[in-house]
Every structure is written in C-alpha cells, then in structure tokens.
Structure 1
C-alpha cells in the first residue's frame, strides 16, 4: 500500500437533521468549518442544492464569505457552483469579491448539473438549455473575466468583472463522470471526482485527466481529489444504524421521493424488494462507514486506486456530535 500522506478536506451540504431547523443546520456548517480547520483539514467546500427539504446549502457564494471570515488558514470554496444556473459574469464577480475578502484562500468548484430537478433549474435560469457546449463556453469566458481579457470581436471586450483584484480563485471542475475531467484537462483546471454520487469509473476518469492535462496560467501541474460519503465511529451499533439510514436515503431518492430529514427509528422496520436490495448493495460503494481501522484501510485503498493524495469527506449523521467525532477520528487516522 502507498505510504503517501493523505490530506483531508470537507464537502458540507448543510444537512437538516430530523428536529433541526435550516437556521440550525447553517450554524452547524459554521461550527464544522471552525472545528475541521483546527483539526488540520485542507479545504472546506459547501454545496449548491435547490428545492429540497433536507439540505440547507443553496447559495455557496454567500456562505463562503461568512466562512472565510470565521476561519484563517483552511481553503474555503464551493462544491460546487452549478454553472448552468448562473450568469458567467456574475460568478466571476462573486468570486473576485471573495478573493478580495480572502485572497489566495478561495476555491471555485464548478459543476454542470443543476443541483436540483429540471423544473427548478428552469426557474433558476430560464435560458438554460442543459447543453454541453454552453458549459464549455462558460469555462472559457470565466477564465477571460478573471484575467481581464476577451476573445477578439466579442462583446466581452467591453466588460470587466468587478472588483478587479490581483489573485484568481483556484478553479476545480467537479464531476461524477469522465467528461468534465476532459474539460478540466483542456482548461488546465483541477479535478474532483464525486465518488459519493457515482462509485464506478472514477479512478479511470482521474487517470485520463492527468494524462491529458494541459498546464495553464493558474495551474502548472494536474491536481485531483475524490469525494466520498464517510462515517467513522468506534461504536459499531452507530455504524450499523448509519448504514441503514443511508441505504434508505438512496432508495427513496431513486424512487423519486426526494430527500427528507429522518432517523434510524423511522426506517428500522422498512422492508425492501429484491431489486431494491440490489440497488442498496450498489449504493454502499458510495459510502465508507465503519470503525477507525476499517475506514483507514478502505480510504487508503481508494486513494491509491485513484492516484490521489486528498480525500474530500461528506458526512451526514443523525447526531451533530457524531458528525464532529467522525471528522475527529479521520484526522487522528490521517493527519496526526
């Protein structure tokens, strides 16, 4: 097994636990950012989701500003900004403002999924055609805005992204397929594979990204990480219950019922069809849940198979203290 030191980062979706308000969920995100910075985590990303009752993170650009003010060393960023929902110029201006507030500490993670259902996505951006070419054009325009330049003969020559600051946020493409890895390689951006969404093909996507990477002004060498659901506990019963809750969440989502706050007692007696049991076995590949020794072994194996030295942990738990403890145990395993 590789002896490369693994860095840890956080992707937080501001989950709304059963019996907890959205306001409390956001306060938990803030507390988690402060705590994981003390533990030595590399970066803290917040997500963009819409029209869901279980995740409070809808506007990462707003939350990042506050988190940057509450921290001092850890990188703070988006995991990610869903580009089809936004004007490219507005994204550029939002993140230039964030760079002015926290220069050299901001990550702009971007995705091309809407982070919601198609109807909500159409309301967020009525001109969204969900076209791949539109996303590629956004990436090209974004880099031009960050460097105060434009393609000759285009209207962008008359536009500047304000404020004009000296630094550029680190740009990451986030994906659960290999396609965005190719875009990241072409534009010389960093690449994060969402194993917590798709547990198949990630290692190959990262390898292809590295092979095709073209250095850019912002990034001279390829940089990649992988994100995965993680729950670490010394209590085996808590691990068992966590797995059961995650199994149920995935099945409910695949049934088209969306996500809602729930606890183990809500689902402990649910019976599943044989087909659903097959899906549960597949979806368990998206999660590493176990005692510290098991978690360290499995995460080390995944990091080696992906060829990365950074794991982004996504942790949802019924109890906030269990969530904090999971991140502490991870830090003890890899950072100390």
Structure 2
C-alpha cells in the first residue's frame, strides 16, 4: 500500500503531562488540533474519561464546540462519547447543536465502555445496568432522534431532539473487540478498532464488520479505521525513553495506579519476569521509532487491517516532541503543507 493512499487522523485524550495542569492539557489539545489541521490530518477526535488525574478530557461535546471555532476544514468528533453514561436524547441534542455550529464536519464516535471505573460509571448514570441490550436500544433511540424517525405510538415519537438541523453527524462505533463490529455493521455506522487498547484481533473485527455491513441512509459503504499509540522522532534516545515511559504507564494502569510519569521516574525500574511478559505484549500497542521505521510499520498495519485511515494517539513527556511526531508523520505520508 502506498503511503499517499493512507489518511492520518488524531485521537487526543488530552493527557496531563508530569508537572503540567489540566488547563495546560486542554490548551495543548487546542494547539494540536490547529497544528494538525494545517498539516492535512483528516479528522480530530477527543475522548471521554472520568475520575483520572492523567487525562483532562471528560466532556468531549464541550471541547468539540471550542475546537469547531478554532478549526475550519478538519472533521472533528468524539473518540468517543461513552454512550451508557448518557441518555440517547442528550447525546443527540449535543451533536445536533455541534452540527449547527460546524455543519458537515462532526463525527459522533461512541463507545460501550464507561471510560472509567464501575463505581464512577454508576454515579454518572445510576440507571446503567451495563447490559448489552441496553446499549443496542440506545443506538436505536439515538438513530431515531437524529433522523426524527421514531416508531408511531412510542414515547420517542413525541420528542424531538433540538435543535432541528439539516445535517446529521457521521456515526462511528469504537471498540477493542468484535462485538461492536457487529453492532456497527447492523446499524450502518463507521467502525474504529482500538488497537492501542487491544493489539489482538483487530483485522478480524474489521473483516467481520465489512462482511456484515448493512448500508444506512448515513453510510452507504463500510468505513473503518484503527487507532494506535505512535511516537516518531529522529532522536534515538528520545525513542528509547518514550518506550520506557509507555512500558511503565501500561503496567501502572493494569495495577490501578494512575499518575503522570516522566523518564526520571522510570529509568531505573527493574521488572519481574511477569512484568516483562506484559511489556512485550503491550509493545504491540505502540509504534515508536525513526520516521522510516514508523512509516513502514504503520503501512504494514494498514495493509493487515485493509484500511486506508489510521488514528494516531501520541502521549509523550514533552509537548514539543508530540508536535514534532505528528509533523514527521505528515511528511512521511505526504500530507499537505508538511515538510
């Protein structure tokens, strides 16, 4: 696959760097969105996480309204709204209003996971029973609210999602398993596989999605992408330091310990055999290296997934290195205005 046939997009979790604040993290999200739009990235998604000290993005719909005012051409969206935390009507109204602000540029990416621990999720939505059928019903209700197509005689028919607008946000399901691939196919939505969460089974999930896809009014043909952690640098030492930080970050998360990390925090770490096994597994979630190495690996992954769009997630110790990583990728993949 030619790199020029691969589109690049951004998934931004608004990470809070060691020694930085949530306010700085949000400002960096805004700066990165403007920067990557100039570089020619296709879309910019922001995430929903709760009860964590390392990610500032808790309400993507609020952040997207601000990003809409600071971008002009790039698609912007949620990556994603964790649907069980909300009512379908509230999500429909939030994204209809975003469509009014930026018609034809909004992506409504949705996930089934809570984006937090179970206790926090139960407080966000006390009626959440974490049942698969509830999620399916939410997807049906959401589609009806966005299209004003509720079945006659139902309660939903009496309710309109406000504001009434002519355009509908593009709908995507985000998942790290094959189950949501079936849901995305059934409802005729886009499908994004979270390789950065689960590095196993992604190509099979995308294939299942394509095989089972049913065209919808919003999406006549299947559309899929994959999200992955990436760090690109000409500095070999920075690459190795980044890998060390990500190794520790993954292990920390698996143990339920979530704090910002710097290289100084992890450089002298000694790991058990079991931890080293986890590190080898988790390295599959990350592509880090010089521009040529990263480009080769990402192109291989795109071919394995049979997709033409990659969602790039970059979290690193220094913001300038984060900007430079996206810039180097843009140049290697032939995006516009990239050096």
Scaled by the length of structure 1, the TM-score of the pair is 0.99
In 1, distance between residues paired with 2:39 and 2:219?
Answer: 27
**2:303 is the counterpart of 1:304:** yes
Shift of 1:152: 2.8
**Larger deviation, residues 29-38 vs 145-154:** 145-154
Residue correspondence of structure 1 range 20-169 to structure 2 within 5 A: 20-169=20-169
1:208 aligned residue: 208
Task: Please tell me whether the aligned partners of residues 43 and 77 of structure 1 are also in contact (alpha carbons under 8 angstroms).
Answer: yes
1:293-333: CA deviation from partner (whole Å, max 9, x where unpaired): 10010000000000000000000010000000000000001
Which SS does the other structure have where 2:197 is aligned? Answer: coil
Which SS does the other structure have where 2:15 is aligned? Answer: coil
Which SS does the other structure have where 1:139 is aligned? Answer: helix
**2:262 is the counterpart of 1:263:** yes
In 1, distance between residues paired with 2:165 and 2:75?
Answer: 18
2:328 aligned residue: 329
2:290 aligned residue: 291
**2:16 is the counterpart of 1:10:** no
In 2, distance between residues paired with 1:152 and 1:238?
Answer: 60
Q: Aligned Cα RMSD in Å?
A: 0.8
Task: Please tell me whether the aligned partners of residues 109 and 174 of structure 1 are also in contact (alpha carbons under 8 angstroms).
Answer: yes
1:33-81: CA deviation from partner (whole Å, max 9, x where unpaired): 0000000000000000000000000000000000011000000000000
Shift of 1:2: 5.3
Task: Please tell me whether the aligned partners of residues 4 and 309 of structure 1 are also in contact (alpha carbons under 8 angstroms).
Answer: no
In 1, distance between residues paired with 2:229 and 2:334?
Answer: 19
Task: Please tell me whether the aligned partners of residues 3 and 333 of structure 2 are also in contact (alpha carbons under 8 angstroms).
Answer: no
Which SS does the other structure have where 2:134 is aligned? Answer: helix
Task: Please tell me whether the aligned partners of residues 108 and 172 of structure 1 are also in contact (alpha carbons under 8 angstroms).
Answer: yes
1:70-128: CA deviation from partner (whole Å, max 9, x where unpaired): 00000000000000000100000000000000000000000000000000001100000
Which SS does the other structure have where 2:5 is aligned? Answer: coil
In 2, distance between residues paired with 1:277 and 1:209?
Answer: 34
Task: Please tell me whether the aligned partners of residues 194 and 228 of structure 1 are also in contact (alpha carbons under 8 angstroms).
Answer: yes
1:233-252: CA deviation from partner (whole Å, max 9, x where unpaired): 00000000000000000001
Shift of 1:3: 6.2
| Structure 2 residues without counterparts, runs of 5 or longer | none
Task: Please tell me whether the aligned partners of residues 7 and 335 of structure 1 are also in contact (alpha carbons under 8 angstroms).
Answer: no
Shift of 1:159: 0.4
Runs of 4+ in structure 1 off by over 4 angstroms are 1-4
Shift of 1:260: 1.1
Shift of 1:335: 2.6
Which SS does the other structure have where 1:54 is aligned? Answer: coil
1:249 aligned residue: 249
The count of corresponding residues between Structure 1 and Structure 2 is: 335
Which SS does the other structure have where 2:198 is aligned? Answer: coil
In 1, distance between residues paired with 2:117 and 2:70?
Answer: 32
